[in-house]
A and B are shown apart, each in its own frame.
Chain A
Amino acid sequence: MAADKLVISGLSKTFCTDRGQTIALQGVDLAIGHNEFLALVGTSGCGKSTLLSIAAGLESHDDGKISIDGLPIEQPGLDRGVVFQNYTLLPWLSALHNVEFALRAAGKSAGEIRDIAQDHLNLVGLQGFENAFPAELSGGMKQRVAIARALSYRPSMLLMDEPFGALDALTRHHMQELLTNIWDKHRLTVLFITHDVEEAVYLSDRVAVMSNRPGRIKSIIAIDLPRPRHYDMVSTPSFQKLHRQILDEIRSESLAAAALKTALD
């Protein structure tokens, strides 16, 4: 069997603030296979975004190891595309130019940039909106541009930090369908952070549940639903069972946290 794409072992991270130290991550072990879609779920503040930032190379860690394709992650790289929660489209550039911006930074030749950018806007269904500025786009459309941008320079791994968290339920469903469709066509490794359990089950091959702070991986649940996924599956018993199982894992975490808080008070 081929080695895993992303390997994390014994990873720890402590933040030093004015009010003392916060242990964000403690002994995180996780391996994501090649072309696997893994969702990381957990209550807010459990450190899942921190883990993604470390994988992106945007943040350092204190202990343990993290590597991609066998090489330790020390800084950001074009092998990883990042989709942030808040779209992060540059407001002075049109949709097309936002994608071209990334391609230019990635060192693509001037001749191919326009075509690649256009192809990726088409991929996310935004033909006709090439010249729209971010202020003219809805939240869902902005995030489509951000996905197109992250995919455009062909990273081998996509890191997504609650990308649909700010969208309304209907748009969120559309975006989830779009993402599975894209992923079915262009297989790549995905680390997807969310606190929406249904979303995690719907999209992933495996779901990793994170414990409360200090964050570590509590359990990993394989999602053995057939692909391609479609929205009718959500109401099937097998989907509901997985949904329930993960929800229980998270709930026991929050109950434990609440009990601990009461004991401390």
Chain B
Amino acid sequence: MPPANRRARRARFSVGAHIPAREFLLIALCVFAGLAIAWTAFTAGGFIRPLFLPSPLQVATRLADLASSGQLFADMAISIYRITLGFLISTVAALPIGVLIGSYRRWEAAIEPFVDFIRYMPVVAFVPLTILWAGTGDVQKLLIIFIGTFFQQVLLVMDNVKSVPRDFINLGRTLQMPEWRILQRIVLPSALPAIWDSMRISLGWAWTWLVVAELVAATSGLGYRITTAQRFFQTDLIFGYLLILGILGLASDQAMKFAGRKLFRYLDVR
């Protein structure tokens, strides 16, 4: 291999090296395509009974059936409604508290250890309690999403706020800005890109808690449909819905990433 080639190759595989966006996409797609091919080959070869692993065609057919009957979209709609509402409530509550305890030590002392304490209680263990409190309706789903997301978000936002450079705050002080103005005009905008990222990550967890809540006690939603499918050995439906969940998660994550790049364009203008 000529030296120039070798150098180019080494540059690609050095730590933190950049690659073109097209190449990134291509690699990501290849992994998905590879998995699909492996799955097809494995099931077509008859190595495994469809009860345990249905073929991609079976899964696709089942999904198409559910889509044409409207069932799929009804399930998606209710789940998306629940996660949107639950995540929003949790975020709106977590933001001010996170900013507060990230900025003031006394508030941190009052709230942070308590939040940490709750955070380590497994969310799943709250399911029976929430059913007792709120029944099996939407409120219980929102409650589970809230418990699973809110406490994590508070700590993430606190950390984001804490990493605002000390000198930014000092700048506000030298300009004799009042405390609340420093919070509003300096701390919050400075921490916002990191907070946005934290929200993106916690949205991923919220999906998990939504499905957990729907699996245990529900009469609708993607998680509920998976539970009923298990009763009727409809493995293809389980797989189909898992794929749908993966796609929804990936789409929401990419959407937030994209929005973040647009919102905080000032960070990587060059």
The answer to whether A and B assemble together is yes
- Which parts of B178-206 form the interface with A (CB within 8 Å)? 181, 185-186, 189-190, 192
Task: Tell whether A140 is near chain B: CB-to-CB under 8 Å.
Answer: no
A105 to B174, CA, bound (A): 10
With A90-B189, A135-B269, A135-B270 given, is the CB distance from A84 to B175 under 8 Å? no
B269 & A86 in contact (Cβ 8 Å cutoff): no
Task: Tell whether A258 is near chain B: CB-to-CB under 8 Å.
Answer: no
With A133-B269, A135-B268 given, is the CB distance from A90 to B190 under 8 Å? yes
Which stretch (A28-36, A73-81, A180-188, A230-238) binds chain B?
Answer: A73-81
Which stretch (B84-92, B118-126, B163-171, B236-244) binds chain A?
Answer: B163-171
B269 & A58 in contact (Cβ 8 Å cutoff): no
A217 to B213, CA, bound (A): 68
A88 & B175 in contact (Cβ 8 Å cutoff): no
Q: How far is the CB of A44 from chain B (nearest CB, A)?
A: 18
* Residues of A contacting B264 in the complex (Cβ-Cβ under 8 angstroms): 92
A118 to B170, CA, bound (A): 24
A58 & B174 in contact (Cβ 8 Å cutoff): yes
Q: How far is the CB of B123 from chain A (nearest CB, A)?
A: 35
* Residues of A contacting B175 in the complex (Cβ-Cβ under 8 angstroms): 76, 78, 102, 105-106, 153
With most chain A CB atoms within 10 A of its CB, the pick from B175, B185, B264, B269 is: B175
A170 to B170, CA, bound (A): 29
Task: Tell whether B267 is near chain A: CB-to-CB under 8 Å.
Answer: yes
* Residues of A contacting B185 in the complex (Cβ-Cβ under 8 angstroms): 101, 105
A105 to B181, CA, bound (A): 9
Interface residue tally on B, bucketed by range = 20 to 34
A89-114 contact mask (Cβ, 8 Å, vs B): 1 or 0: 01110000000011001100000000
With A76-B176, A77-B176, A78-B176 given, is the CB distance from A84 to B171 under 8 Å? yes
B174 & A91 in contact (Cβ 8 Å cutoff): no
Contact of B173 among A58, A86, A133, A136 (CB under 8 A): A58
Task: Tell whether A208 is near chain B: CB-to-CB under 8 Å.
Answer: no
- Which parts of A105-139 form the interface with B (CB within 8 Å)? 105-106, 133-136
B270 & A82 in contact (Cβ 8 Å cutoff): no
A57 to B174, CA, bound (A): 8
Task: Tell whether A56 is near chain B: CB-to-CB under 8 Å.
Answer: yes
* Residues of B contacting A90 in the complex (Cβ-Cβ under 8 angstroms): 168, 171, 186, 189-190
What is B's interface to A at a CB cutoff of 8 Å? 165, 167-168, 170-177, 181, 185-186, 189-190, 192, 264, 266-270
Q: List 28 A-B contacts (CB under 8 A).
A: A57-B173, A58-B170, A58-B173, A58-B174, A75-B173, A75-B176, A76-B173, A76-B174, A76-B176, A80-B174, A82-B170, A84-B167, A86-B165, A88-B171, A90-B171, A91-B190, A91-B267, A92-B189, A105-B172, A105-B175, A106-B175, A106-B176, A133-B266, A133-B269, A134-B266, A135-B266, A135-B270, A153-B175
